[in-house]
Structure 1
Amino acid sequence: MSSDPSDHSGAPREPDPSQWEELLRSLFGADAEDALRELRARGFDPATLAAGSEFQNDPQMLQQILDQVKRLLTSSGTGPVNADVAHDVARQAAVVGGDPSLTSREVRVATEALSVAELWLDAATDIPPGGGRAVAWTRSEWVERTLPAWNTLAQPVASSVADALTAILRDQLPGDLSAMGDSGGLTGGLPAGLFGGDGGAIDPSQIMRQIGAAVFGMQIGTAAGTLSREVFGATDIGVPLLSEPATVLVPANVAAFAEGLDAPEEEVRLFLALREVAHARLFTHVAWLRGHLLGLVEAYAKGITIDMDALESSMREIDPTDTEALRGALSGGVFALQSTPEQKATLLRLETVLALVEGWVDEVVARAALPHLPHAVALREMIRRRRAAGGPAEQTFASLVGLELRPRRSRDAAALWASIESQGGPSTRDAVWDHPDLLPGTIDLDEPAGYFTRRDAVTAEQSDVDRALAEIFGEAEDEGSSEGPGDETDGDGTSAPDAPAS
């Protein structure tokens, strides 16, 4: 049987989505027709694996993805997100439209802008510089440095999806399909024990788990690669993406953003450098902030519940290996986002912290830029609107991770920080970051002027509690010290026997 009956010209065949089916045929071996017939009968058409892919019209890209998936299915890789697929796709997406190496001049002007921004910020905030290197990155370098963080953010929801799909497959796929490994079909030529514990019978759900990991890898890679063409540095998404302190500019994106603006490119570069170093100072010196933010993101993602009835119903109508079908399922009500009070509380806390970070950066950068940049006000408003609108890559992460990384109330947060500064000065404003208990809440975003009154009331209440506890424990200690020698206790709190008479 010809593997490609549609091509009789003798010319090399361009890759198309049907090659996904050919890939699985090579894995099924002698039992290919029966296996594929059963998969189609259950609503899983391997021929649609590439449908919805960002690269379905790019033969070279599709061939690379096919090669990657073939390596995936013939290896024992684990994890809900295939990091190798994400990396390959992200690197390809990053260079769409070009990603030339940086010239020495581009590196110099970028790092000089970051250095100048540090000096200007010294006059606007008491939080010191982050201490990391000032660097310029290409889009590909941005992908390399930040992709691990995106993979981590997506893993909780990817794991939930994989578990749900696997459970449904176990119920829907017939038992005789899992026994086909005995005839050398699915497992023929593959590592022993890859799909089954004893190397004989196979688990078809494992194939779907691995394909699901590849699909999530494609989605993450596409979004990260697209983001690399939009971001100006390493921090302007609002979530810390680097494991070590650094300040970064992506010169190609800065220049593209500056085109067509009334402000000179140098002004635009300096304004964006101010935002980068302000974020870096906050993430570096507010020791609890990075873990707090990432912890909230992880808690929210892990708390996502999956409506199994809705998912199973969807699977009867769509191919779960179709990228677009999965994307639609993620955003189409299959996931019961914010379905519990805990989920709602976590989301509200996360959105508030993201807004407070963005609002603080917005306010501090404005203070630092106004004396030096004639177009500071216009640039501030442009960045505000850009952050509020988001882009296609951010929307992809919103569907994958289950939340939006856009600070919805950044303007309210900036007004709050300005109010705090007007009442207590820059030092008081920055001191709010000393402890998470001092951080404003949503009510403070609604009514900035009452922040100190509410904080003082909470502080007084906590002091009363601490005082009462101190009195209780103090009385207990006094009682313990007044006991006679015959009532001494051991370290475990049990009474010790009286010492023998000498």
Structure 2
Amino acid sequence: MADDDRSPEEEFQELLRKLLAGEGGAIDPEQLSRLSGMPIDPATMQTMMRHLQGAFASGDEGISWDLAKRQALHIANQSSLAITSGQRTDLDAAFSLAALWLSEATTISELPTPPRVITRGAWVEETLPVWQELAEPVATSIADALTSALGSQAPDDMQDLIAGAGRLMRTVGGSLFATQLGHVVGRLSTEVVSGGDVGIPVMPDGDAAILPQNFADFGRDLEIPDDQLALYLATRELAHARLFRHARWLRLHVISQVRDFAAGIHVDTDALEDLAGRFDPSEPEELRRALESGALLPARSEEQTAALTRLENLLATIEGWVDVVTAEATTRLPSADRIAEAVRRRRAVGGPAEQALGSLVGLELRPRRMREAAAMWRAVTDAVGSAGRDALWDYPDLMPGADDIDDPAALVARVSAQARGEAPQHDELDDALARLLAEEAESGASDGAASPDADGADPGDGGADEPGPEGPRPV
């Protein structure tokens, strides 16, 4: 049958077969344009085919993280300026003085490696692995939803063909999400001031860093001298990095909490199918807006809400400690209170890129209870000093929880008693555990009294080789 004699359905099936067979280069853009009824730029078509064929050739299925990295670096380096020697000198001096001040305010030791002054591109390179880990559950969910939507909307006579398109749709969905993640992380690199600015440990191995270009943007409208602003932000960054370096378990604890939340995310297939039904490839902005607005993510489940609450409390506990220690270390700064308030407002509201990240993965990284957590840490400091306060980070089971933020008095009483060498007061959990252990001990004693001895014989009944009334018992 000649090409001109084929029906549109047959032509489309042939195009799909070529694509699934890795013959993207053999697809005629004019033919695809005619079938879709829309103009398709040949260069755009060829670029898309190269991406898809590259994914097939590499054996990857799903998420193209290299694509996310390229997109993020493209945005980060677009307006990134080189770090001048003056900026590096000023910030290095701020870090040095901040380290001295911080050592007076906390017993947590200094970092083994010096803090750094980095570009936006370097921040993307070093933090992207964490963003990938946090976003992967959502990316996988979107790829699965696209595959499901394709199967549900295809006609019956194409189901056999569609069954082999799962890998293709995963690649398309993963690439689409990776592009948007790269876009958001790239924009985030233009907003963050330091490594710990977003509240979670995105820098590797607890490193401390400041981005000079973003630092300049942050202080532009505050009317605060740059040297004071640099000292405050350097102190806060060092406090954040020192905490995560000291409490090695804390990084995994935070990431696990985020993963617990992300594991419950599933794409709203109804919203996706509705978008697919009216999607115009000539207007890709609609799909981008749908991803960044969170329109494809359904309302949170009860489990997700509980996980998010736990995460918010954890972040607030961390940020509250950093806030208190930074305030103690910067008492010599005349503008410290004004800078602290500006930082708190910024953390509470979040920038445009942080808001876009929340919509993209359904996660808001803003500690809503930071003021209450800071009040708790101040109360503990007043009661037992900085050494007693910082000791609460030595082990996971010592760290204050949500109940301690709600009722600092109980935490203060507990740590004060420990500081005086008194035995801790038993709470309901301790009493319940003691009762359980007592019951198990009593049950074990009762079983032991009625059970055979160690050799399996009844008490007083003689061993296996002990002679009985009628001679030796056979073994």
Fold in common (TM above 0.5): yes
Bigger CA drift: 324-333 or 378-387?
Answer: 324-333
CA separation of 1:265 and 1:164: change in aligned 2, threshold 3 A:
same
Alignment CA distance shift 1:63-1:262 (3 Å): farther
Change (3 A) 1:437 1:168: same
Which is further off, 282-291 or 145-154? 282-291
TM-score, normalised relative to structure 2: 0.79
* 1:245, distance to aligned residue in structure 2 (A): 3.0
TM-aligned CA distance change 1:468 to 1:74, over 3 Å? closer
Distance in 1, matches of 2:401 and 2:34, equals 57
Q: Does 1:153 align with 2:134?
A: yes
8 A contact 2:115–2:207 mirrored in 1: yes
Distance in 1 separating the partners of 2:307 and 2:455: 45
Unmatched 5+ stretches in structure 2? 1-18, 418-423, 457-461, 468-475
1:179 & 1:37 partners in 2: Cα distance? 25
Contact 2:291/2:359, CA 8 A, preserved across alignment: no
SS of the residue 2:208 aligns to: strand
How many Å apart are 1:425 and its aligned residue? 2.6
What CA deviation, in whole Å up to 9, does each residue of 1:341-381 have, x standing for no partner? 2211101001111112111111110111012x111111111
Structure-2 residue corresponding to 1:212: 173
Task: Report the Cα offset of residue 97 of structure 1.
Answer: 2.2
Q: Using a 3 Å threshold, how does the CA distance of structure 1 residues 223 and 316 change in structure 2: closer, same or farther?
A: same
Q: 1:233 aligns with which of 163, 169, 194?
A: 194
**Are 1:87 and 2:87 an aligned pair?**
no
CA contact under 8 A between 1:121 and 1:278: conserved in structure 2? yes
Mapped contact 1:236–1:275 kept (Cα < 8 A): no
- In the TM superposition, what whole-angstrom CA distance separates every residue of 1:176-222 from its partner, at most 9, and x where no partner exists? 66888xxxxxxxxxxxxxxxxxxxx9833433321222222221211
Q: 5 Å matches for 1:173-192? A: 173-174=154-155
Q: How many residues are matched?
A: 435
Does the 8 A contact of 2:24 with 2:53 survive in 1? Answer: no
Alpha carbons 1:306, 1:335 under 8 Å: kept: yes
Aligned equivalent of 2:96, options 115, 124, 132: 115
Supply the distance in 2 between the matched residues of 1:359 and 1:306 (Cα, whole angstroms).
34
Percent of aligned pairs with the same residue? 39
Any gaps of 5 or more consecutive residues in structure 1?
A: 1-22, 49-58, 181-200, 491-496
* 1:221 paired to 2:182: yes
Choose the corresponding residue for 1:360, options 307, 321, 328. Answer: 321
Higher helix residue share: 2
Deviation at 1:27, TM superposition (A): 1.8
Listed as ranges, the matches of 1:252-331 within 5 Å are 252-318=213-279, 322=284, 324-325=286-287, 327-328=289-290, 331=293
Provide the secondary structure at the position in 2 that maps to 1:238.
coil
Determine if the alignment matches structure 1 residue 500 to structure 2 residue 454: no
**2:380 corresponds to which of 417, 420, 424:** 420
Aligned partner of 1:387 in structure 2 is: 347
Superposed CA RMSD in Å reads: 3.7
Q: What is the TM-score of this pair, normalised by structure 1?
A: 0.75
Q: Which of 282, 299, 306 matches 1:337?
A: 299
1:488 aligns with 2:450: no
Secondary structure of 2:105 counterpart: coil
Q: CA deviation at 1:256?
A: 3.0
Cα 1:139–1:31 change in 2 (3 A) is: closer
For residues 159 and 365 of structure 2, the distance between their equivalents in structure 1, rounded to whole angstroms, comes to: 42
Query: Which deviates more, 204-213 or 90-99?
Result: 204-213
Matched to 2:267, the amino acid is I
SS state of the match for residue 205, structure 2? Answer: coil
Specify the alignment match of 1:196 in structure 2. Answer: none
* Mean Cα deviation higher: 281-290 or 153-162: 281-290
**How far, CA to CA, are the matches of 2:39 and 2:175 in structure 1?**
14
* Larger RCO: 1 or 2 (CA < 8 Å, sep 6+): 1
In our comparison, the structure showing a higher alpha carbon Rg is: 2
Between 1:438-447 and 1:448-457, the stretch displaced more is 448-457
The answer (yes or no) to whether the contact 1:81–1:154 under 8 Å persists in 2 is: no
Contact 1:215 1:323 in 2 (8 A): no
Offset at 1:325? Answer: 2.0
Q: Contact conserved, 1:362 with 1:414, CA < 8 A, in 2?
A: yes
Distance 1:87 1:271 in 2: 31
Counterpart residue identity of residue 488, structure 1: A
SS at the partner of 1:335? Answer: coil
Structure 2 Cα separation of the partners of residues 30 and 271 of structure 1? 59
